[in-house]
Structure 1
Amino acid sequence: MNDKIKSVITCDLDGKIESLSEGAQKLFGYTEDEMIGKGRVSDFSPGQIVLGHVVNWLNESVEKGEWEGDTVFLHKDSHEIPCHIKITPTKGKEGEHIGYCGVTTPLIDKTPDEVRPNISLMTKIFTWLVIMRLPFLTATFVPLLVGAAVANFLDYDVSWGWLGLTVLGGCLLHIGTNTANDYFDHTSGTDEANYNYMVPFSGGSRSIQMGLISSRGMLIVSLVAFALSAVVGVPLIQKAGMDVLWLGLIGFASGFFYTAPPFRFASRKGLGELLIGLNFGPLMVAGSALVQTGKILPEALLAGIPIGLLVAAIVYMNEFPDHDGDKATGKNTLIVVFGPEKARLGYVFLVVGAFVSIIIMALNGTFPKLSLIALPAAYFGVRAIQTLYKYYNDRLLIPANAGTINMHLVTGLLFCIGIWLG
């Protein structure tokens, strides 16, 4: 390799590549057409180096004006290149921070192992957190807790041991769903066509694209998680009856085939969002109460309505940045069907519907009036709506993505407390 090659790459704050010098094209093997406006600077680094080091390097470059050091980069053909890089923040016309510039030279007298940054144990653990998308398991915790609260409200004894086993089974189903969706979004080309994803809210986990795990490995994780959920389900079925099995099968089928052929529910013009709302709302709340009571309670199905609407709102909000990639690969989400601008109103309906349903159920006596303590969480929804209407096609949408997750979590926990104590 020519040691006189100098690569200069600039990117925006999301890492999306804005310019690629001739030296960069020679060093990494990509053309401008392949990368500008499409690729990310993370495409040039092994995934665990991205997770464990790159963010720190970027932050230090902002704090100190630059960061400089040796590392390993990846060529287009996946072979490793030992390099020296200097990172500096780039500024806009008014001096605002708008991105980064990396100047890279190959180290012909070094091997990749000599310059490879250390991968800590915490980074290795974090890798699996990313692969399985564990932070999103709050979407499982909340409805299962609400289901237990409904059982308690109706004077059934709640067993914490059985609740714990229910949560474990639900989480395994959720992990199986997450990893299956990543696998099939990869094989369909959806994630590869998605240039506008916003980590960690949209575009999947990016674990396959970052090289954290192979596509085959991702599928294996999914199948193992589903299999373990079935094992956990056996004692739950023995306790509460065959209805647990039917609910579990619905969860498996709708989760696995959310992006898997031949059904690809996520591409069925609203069916995917509907299934998510039902699974993580009425069905999961009812399933949790079923384990405690041995019955599918109408009150549990009703309690799942606001929870399901807010889970659907999370997915709905996260589909805005994915619009272009989804549309290009035939993944017809509601955002693709209506277009991002018109689809904003759908988010308003989901949020308003969730909180109106809580009010109705409290006022008509289905649940205690103390359940109205969940209403202040609507603040997150109001802020998210304001952000969505202004930045629906911009990276500044991120606070709305995060706010929707917070709204679901806080609303669900307060609703649970209100039902339990009421």
Structure 2
Amino acid sequence: MTQTADVSRQRAWLMAARPHTLPAAAAPVVVGTALAVHTGVLAVWPAVAALVGAALIQIATNFANDYYDAVRGADTEDREGFTRVTAGGLIRPARVKQAMYVTFAAAILDGVYLVFVGGVPILVIGLASVASGITYTGGPYPLGYHGLGDAFVFLFFGVIAVTGTYYVQAAAHLAGAFPVAIPPGTVPLAAVVASLPVAAISTNIIVVNNIRDKDEDETTGKRTLAVRFGYRFSRLEYAGLLVVAYAAPLWFYATGYGASVFLPLVTLPLAVSVTKTVFERTEGAALNPALSRTGQLLAAYSALFAVGVAV
């Protein structure tokens, strides 16, 4: 076996894991932990476990999407997005499917500790996250094929991820081992509001993806919101979600947080630039960079927001 073959195979697995999507996993943990710092309930090990679990679920979901889109015929030769390893023949479908299950199993193993800390609520959230990661493109009713992908990302990679990160740290301070219900004070309104910018910008990654793939999705029967309601709807959705993201700091400032919560406004020029591309272009040559830049916007906004909330 040659070194070239080894590098080629390693590169293929990196393409399948899609490490450029990891900001979507890290952002909610960073924001939830920043709020925990502000309120004095920081717990390092639950935070680390939450980050590891989020990354594993993200990667496993990427494997699932790569595999199920290929076997369902949604990835065609006309695809304008990033190369998929299953449809491209770079890795055998059975191996990608196996990697999906192994990575989800690792996420569950990581979650055992979080369940010990957070109890039944985290058990429910963890199992729902794994199930949704598989059924996003798999199962008898794939969420992404019926226009539910946006809601899935908003909920699981935004609201639940941020509030869950805060919850496990607060529970470590305010509750005993394995609580059967949500202890008082472990999910404050601030955690929910803090989750909205992350949820909104994370969802916009899917919005750009769906605009780019609209024509292909129509021919393969993938009924995303872009397919159902058209370009105009998806573009307004993108802009509306950004309004939600940039309005959230106003709530924190109005409820007593310092002016540092406005740090994310530094990212507005990037947001405006990407929005202009989304409103004017449909081809992959323009929207693939816009997809990456939306991920960069999520990372930059979340980091600045976290600093602003923590201090």
Same fold (TM over 0.5): yes
Q: Map of 1:12-411 to 2, 5 A cutoff?
A: 119=4, 122-159=7-44, 161-192=45-76, 195-199=78-82, 205-269=83-147, 271-294=148-171, 295-358=186-249, 360-365=250-255, 367-393=257-283, 395-411=285-301
The alpha-carbon deviation at position 122 of structure 1 amounts to 4.9
CA distance 1:371–1:178, shift in 2 (3 Å): same
Q: What CA deviation, in whole Å up to 9, does each residue of 1:276-330 have, x standing for no partner?
A: 0111111001111122111333321221101000000011111122112211222
Q: Do the aligned partners of 1:380 and 1:407 also contact (CA within 8 Å) in 2?
A: yes
Q: Indicate the structure with greater strand content.
A: 1
Structure with the higher helix share, 1 or 2: 2
- Quote the Cα distance in structure 2 between the aligned partners of 1:164 and 1:415: 19
Query: Are the structure 2 counterparts of residues 319 and 371 from structure 1 closer, same or farther at C-alpha, using a change threshold of 3 Å?
Result: same
1:141 maps to amino acid: A
The alpha-carbon deviation at position 125 of structure 1 amounts to: 3.3
Query: In percent, how many aligned pairs have the same letter?
Result: 28
Superposition TM-score, scaled by structure 1 size: 0.67
Question: Structure with the greater relative contact order (CA < 8 A, sep ≥ 6): 1 or 2?
Answer: 2
Larger radius of gyration: 1
Supply the distance in 2 between the matched residues of 1:236 and 1:414 (Cα, whole angstroms): 27
* Ranges in structure 2 where 5+ consecutive residues have no aligned partner: 172-185
Take 2:195 and 2:57, find their aligned partners in 1: how far apart are those partners? 18
Following superposition, the deviation at residue 416 of structure 1 comes to 0.7
Take 1:355 and 1:335, find their aligned partners in 2: how far apart are those partners?
Answer: 24
**In 1, are the aligned partners of 2:278 and 2:290 still within 8 Å (CA)?**
yes
Q: Tell me whether 409-418 or 236-245 shows the greater mean CA deviation.
A: 236-245
Gaps of 5+ in 1: 1-112, 200-204
Contact 1:362/1:372 (CA < 8 Å) preserved in 2? Answer: no
Structure 1 pair 348/130, CA: closer, same or farther in 2 (3 Å)? same
Structure 1 position 158, deviation (Å): 2.9
Q: Aligned-pair RMSD on alpha carbons?
A: 2.0
Aligned residues of 2:207 and 2:234 also touching (Cα < 8 A): no
| Partner AA of 1:283 in structure 2 | I
- Cα deviations across residues 117-138 of structure 1 (Å, max 9, x unaligned)? 9617554433322111122111
- TM-score, structure 2 as length reference: 0.89
Partner of 1:24: none
Q: How far does residue 331 in structure 1 lie from its aligned partner after superposition?
A: 1.2
